[in-house]
Structure formats: C-alpha cells, structure tokens
Structure 1
Amino acid sequence: MKVQKKLSPAIVEASKPEAEPYRVWDTTVPQLFLRVQPSGVRSWNVQWARTSSKSLGKWPGVTVESARVKAKALLVETDQHGAPRAVLDAKKPKAYTLGEFVEQEFKPWASANRKWGDGAADRILAVFEEFREKPLAELTPWIIEKWRSKRIKAGISPNTCNRDLATLKSALRRALEWGLIDADPLGAVKQSKVDSSRVRYLSEDEENRLRKALADRDGAARQARARNNAWRKERNQEPLPALGPSDYGDHLSPAVLLSLNTGLRRGELTSLEWADIDFHSHNLTVRAAAAKSGKRRSVPLNDESIAALKQWRKQVGTKGRIFPFRDFKTAWGALLEDAKIADFRWHDLRHHFASRLAQAGVNLNAIRDLMGHADLKMTLRYSHLSPDNLAAAVALLSAPRKPAKSRKARSV
C-alpha cells in the first residue's frame, strides 16, 4: 500500500526501519519519496516514470525543503528533455579525443580484424599528431583542409595525403557505427584530385642499374658477414651463419625480384606465406584476404622468380610469411640512391611489370588478370606501350581483299 504524507522533519524522524525497505511519498511534491532501509539509512528520491528514479541525497544531510527544491528542478528538466540532464549525460558515450579513440578503441579492434590494422592506427597517430588531443566531434572539414594544404605545401604528394585521409576517415566511420559520435565529422571532405594515369617504369639502363645495385648490396653484406665472423673467431665467440656466394644479404633482393616479375602490390607481397607458393606448378596464389579487390587470383612464376624464392627459402626456412615486413622504405630509398634512379616508388615496380607485358604484346585482358585489376580502365593505361601491335592490327584493314569465287566457279 502506498504511504503518502506531507513530509516534515518530525515525520522523517518517526519513520523507523523495518525488516524490508519501504517508501513514504510526499503530498506536496507527489513524485518525491523518502526511502527507509532496514539499516536505518533514509534517502530522498524523485521518480519521473514507473521504473525511473534518481537519488537526491540522504537525510539529514538533505533537509525536507532541500529535497523538494531538488525534486522540482529535476522534474522541470524531465518535462523539457524527457529525463534529468544528469541522467541523460550519464548515458552519453565518452567524449573521446582522437588519440584516446585510436589507442583505446580502434587499434585493438583493427589489430584483431584487419590486415595490418595496428599499422593503420599507428599511421593515424603519427600523421595526425597535431590533433591527438582534439575531441572527435571537433574535427571539421575546415581543419582537415588546412592540414592538407600545409602538407602539400611542405612537399607531401596529394596521393599520400589521400591515403592518410582515407585511413582516418575509415577509423571515424567505425566511431560512428559504434555510437561514439553522432555524425561523421569528415563526411564532407573529398579526396584531392590526382593524375591516376601516371605510369612510371624503368628504362633498360635503369633496370640494369637497379639489378647491379642489388647485387653490389648483397656482395657487401656477404663481405661484412665474413669480417664479422673473423672478428668473432678471434674472440672465441659463436659465429653468425655464413653467407654463401649466392646468398642474399637480406630480404630486399628477393622482394624486388619477385615484384619485378609478378607485379604484386606491396600489401599482397608482404602478406605472402610459403604455402601460397607452388614450386611444382610454378604458380603463386594471392589470397582474397590480401588482395585489394577481395578476390583470389593466381600469378605464374617465371624462372627468375622461382630461383629467387628457392634461394630465400634456403636461407630463412618455411615458417610464417615470406617477407614479414610492412614496407621497405629505408632499404628501398638507399637502393634507388645507389642505382641513381629518381622518381621511382615501390609501387612503380608493379607498373614496370605491366609495361613490360604490354611492350611484349601481351593481350590487355591477360594483363588485367595478372595485375588483379577490377576494371579494364586501369589496364588501359598501358595500351600506349604496344604501338607496334596496334599498328599491325590497323594495317590489316588496308590489305587487299580477294574477290569471292562465284558459285559456278566453285562447282567446277
């Protein structure tokens, strides 16, 4: 039975504890009640819905009149907002800064669910360091446009800015899906327009210089290992594994040679496992999870690729990934400097592979399949590299056509 009284200090004091907790409702503010616990603790509460109430404090710290004032104020907020502001604020998700969100939420998820997910998180923290302490909701298109302009002015390519921005936007879409923000703050930010038709490939002389630089690099590594082991021997220390005359100094040479002969994307290359190589059929499998298109494909391996992989397998064994690295930036930059090759990215090894195929007269559809292009438009960038074949095709139209024999002549 609901007990209602015009609450006063005397009535509160007279409300003694019982075996079970009970309530005494105020008639002045009907939604206010005094809760009496078996322990003797008496507390004020206000109820605005059948199953929704909030504590206002304990007697005697909160007097009867103070409890009524607090209850009335919360009921006004409930009328305006559907619930007291304190209750609504408590239900709101934490207002993460960019750094907090990436480190506490996005990175653990990405590491478990995405290839190189922790790398994406680290990239955001490094590239967008100036926004680490900024709340997610305060990231605006204007802030990002200023960031992009500053980066491009400093010499960073629009392509690189696009990749960095795509990584950040992908993370923020997760924050939106998880209810951590109410709207995508960068939804209006567009990618910079770039010339995607760029096809940079090595001239014959450049390729020769690149291969020589690789060979010189491996030779220097073998000599350094021999000197190191001689030094260790003099000091009675365990020698490092010796490098034979055909051994690679490290992963760079086999990685470059495989890229030159398969056109794999860097992500596809670094995701390769030894189980993806069929030495018997001379074939390599790009798993769907590693492919940009999300589709599995096979790439034939020529003799140079097979030889490079066999030599590298002999040196490192067959456990784990073939090239357990995310990128080759430091070693690659030094190699290009030694080979005196400018304006050539790792991705351009892929262009070089496709360009050589086109120059050899390989059908564009075959090139598309080998490259893993989802759209033939991407492959058409290499069509201009086979002018002789195109000219030969058009030349067929000018060949004189032989007159068809008459039915009478054929019957003779």
Structure 2
Amino acid sequence: MGQSGLMAIQQLPDGRWRVDVEPVKGKRFRKTLKTKAEAMRFEATCRAKCSESNDWAPRPKDKRRLSELVELWFDLHGVSLSDGVRRVAILRACAKAMGDPVARMVDGAKIAATRARWMSAGVTGKTANNRLGYLKAVYNELHKLDVIDYPCPFTRIRPVRLQERPLAYLTKPQISELLDALQARTTSPHPAMVARICLATGARWGEAQALRPERIRGNALVFANTKSKRVRMVPVTPELVAAIKMHWQTYGPFTNCIGAFRLVLLSTSIKPPRGQASHILRHTFAAHFIMGGGHIVTLKEILGHASLNMTMRYAHLAPEHLNDAIRLGPLAGITLPLASQ
C-alpha cells in the first residue's frame, strides 16, 4: 500500500488542510478540513478502513434539505400509512416554515424557535406536539432504512406539556335530545343511525360510518378500519342489528355524513368541548360503561385502545372510585376523637 507519490496532507494558502490520499491503487480520497488534526484523522481513517475492506469509501457529508427527506419519507414509508397524505402535507408546511434547512443541521434550538412561532400564531400545544412527532418520525424511519447515516438530531427536545381537559360525555336526557334532533332535523337519514351505533359500541364516527353488511356477525359488529389497525368485535342488541339492516334496505349504505351531524349538534343545547363533536359519543359510551360498573380492561378491548393508559382516563368515573378513597385511605379503621367544643 502506498500513496503513489501523492503528498497526503498539505496546508493551503487560506490556512485549511488538504488531504489527498490513495491507500489502495485506484482508490483516491480528497478532502479539505479546517485543522491539521482533522486532516490527519481523516487520512488515518481512510488507510485503516481500506486495509479492512477494499470496498470502503468515506461517505460525503449529507447536504440534503429537510424537504427532500420529507419526500423520501413519504415515498418509502408514508405512502403506506392511512393518514400519509395528510401527514406529508403537514411535513411540507413544517419544512417551509423552518426555511427548509439542511436536514442534518436541524437542532433543538431551531425546532423550539419554530414551535414558539407556531404557538404565538395561535397553534395549540397538541398540534405543535403532533408536528414535532411527525418530524421525529421522518428522521427515525429514514435512519432505520439506512437512507440517512445520522439519527434524529433533536431527540432531546420535549413536547409541550398539555393541561389535561375533563372528558365530556352526554347525560341520558342529552342523548335523547340529540337522537330526536338527528331524526327530525337532518336532511340525511344516516347521521341518526351512525350516532346510535357509536353510542352503542364506543366506535369512532369513521369506524361506524364504514360499517357494511358483511361486518355484522350474528349480534355483533366488526370494526376493521380502526385507528390501531386491529379488527375488533363488539356485541350489540338484536334490536340494533335489525334496525341497521332495515336502514340499509331503505336508504342504502352509509355515506359521509359527519357534516350533517355537526350541524344538528349545533342546533341542540349540547355544547361539547372544541374538537369533540362526534368523539363525545365515544366518550359517552365509555363513561356510562364505567359508571355502570364495567371493568376497565373490558372497556379497553371494546374501544380498541393500544394501551391501558388511554383507557385509564375513564377510571375516575367508576362508582367505587370515590368509595375507595375512604376505604383504603390512611385513616381507615382509626377512631378519631370528637372535635373539642
């Protein structure tokens, strides 16, 4: 192994150091670095790696922009996701908002500054956290696929801590009011039945709306297009099954009717929290299930949650929840003296 007469390291007039090395005949590497120490390390690495493998060559520094990584992520992974088109649109907007920097140069400070601008413009903490999660996923997925040779450069930045909101659910009178309004005021026949399915099963609106005849198994409804990608089956009453079949015979399969549902909801006395228009039906099922004495693990399976942590949001509604504070508290079984007069 020789250098074929090349001077391996040479200082340039501007003070930088030029490496020009040929550890193996026909494999020549050139690079300009700021210091002599860096140049010497690069030369040593080239020689050592070439002695281990003749196929080795140093990878050039990745100068691709964030927008390029976003497109690669979509082509290689995002296209297979159910929400991939929506997500890539968000990622493109994020890259543009950040000035489309060189992807490997994005750091926590740049992300934090961009997030601060978003939130000052009215973006919610939840939305900002979602965008951060999507950006991290781009780096992590491309790193796993060996498209980039560096991990996500801003892994240590934490999501915005969100204030937990009380879960809203409908009372029995409100359920009756909503179903009556849907039956009387909507121009579409479908929202009333879709809402009834959501209330009976805890299904998301999209899951109930996508129900088809082949997904009725006896007295159970099968939901296949779920958020967790898992199929789940929820038993219902024979009366509901008969009503669904009669509805389809009369009006045909469900169509996209979430807009009609929202309009009717606005006309009632019910004022759900922002972003919980149709989701309040799912919360209503869960709340009444737990308040009626249902088991939290059973509720997890009915709702199709990936982890029990999601379902535990409803645990405080269990009728025994407050009683346990008395029964299991530190003063249980202790006779306390009467207050002095």
TM-score where L is the length of structure 1: 0.56
Distance (Å, rounded) in 1 between the aligned partners of 2:111 and 2:6? 50
Q: CA shift at 1:355, angstroms?
A: 0.7
Cα distance in 1, alignment partners of residues 69 and 40 from structure 2: 35
CA distance in 1, matches of 2:41, 2:298: 69
Q: 2:294 aligns to what?
A: 362
Contact 2:219 2:235 in 1 (8 A): yes
Q: Find the counterpart in structure 2 of residue 199 from structure 1.
A: 167
Distance in 2, Cα, partners of 1:109 & 1:269: 31
Matched, 1:381 2:319: no
User: Are residues 1:307 and 2:236 paired?
Assistant: no
Q: 8 Å contact 2:296–2:312 — kept in the other structure?
A: yes
> Which has the higher relative contact order, 1 or 2, with Cα contacts under 8 A spaced 6 or more apart?
2
Whole-Å separation in 2 of the counterparts to 1:309 and 1:149: 51
Amino acid at match of 2:287: S
The offset of 1:388, in angstroms, is 7.5
Cα distance in 2 for partners of 1:353, 1:254 equals 15
Q: CA deviation at 1:299?
A: 1.3
- 1:282 paired with 2:257, answer no
Find the aligned partners of 1:342 and 1:299 in 2 and give their Cα distance.
26
**Per the alignment, do residues 296 and 202 of structure 1 end up closer, same or farther by CA in structure 2, a change over 3 Å counting?**
same
CA contact (8 A) 2:186 2:260 kept: no
Q: In 2, Cα distance between the equivalents of 1:100 and 1:152?
A: 26
Matches within 5 A, 1:161-172: 161-172=128-139
- % same residue: 19
2:27 is aligned to: 52
Larger Rg: 1
**Which residue in 2 is equivalent to 1:63?**
none
Secondary structure, aligned partner of 2:267: helix
Query: C-alpha separation between the residues in 1 aligned to 2:40 and 2:304?
Result: 63
Q: Do 1:137 and 1:185's aligned partners in 2 also have CA atoms closer than 8 Å? A: yes
Within-5 A mapping of 1:134-213: 134-177=101-144, 178-180=146-148, 182-196=150-164, 198-213=166-181
CA contact (8 A) 2:182 2:261 kept: no
> Deviations for 1:10-44, whole angstroms, at most 9, x for unmatched residues?
xxxxxxxxxxxxxxxxxx96469xxxxxxxxxxxx
Question: Which residue identity lines up with residue 266 of structure 2 in the other structure?
Answer: E
Say whether 1:130 aligns with 2:62. Answer: no
Task: Kindly indicate whether the alpha-carbon contact (under 8 Å) linking 2:70 and 2:88 is maintained by their aligned counterparts in 1.
Answer: yes
User: Contact conserved, 2:182 with 2:264, CA < 8 A, in 1?
Assistant: yes
Partners of 2:101 and 2:260 in 1: CA distance: 35
Q: What is the rounded CA distance, in whole Å, between the counterparts of 1:98 and 1:333 in structure 2?
A: 38
Picking from 202, 207, 210, the partner of 1:263 is 202
What amino acid does structure 2 have at the position aligned with 1:257?
A: R
8 Å contact from structure 2 (residues 300, 308) kept in 1? yes
Distance 1:354 1:184, change over 3 A: same
Cα shift at 1:96: 2.5
Output the aligned Cα RMSD: 4.3
Within the candidate set 273, 294, 306, 1:343 is matched to: 273
The count of aligned residue pairs is 291
Structure 1: any 5+ residue segments left out of the alignment? 1-27, 33-45, 56-74, 222-246, 396-412
Aligned: 1:82 with 2:46: yes
Contact 1:98 1:131 in 2 (8 A): no
Match of 1:99 among 59, 67, 83: 67
Aligned mates of 1:312, 1:129 — CA distance in 2 = 46
Superposition TM-score, scaled by structure 2 size = 0.66
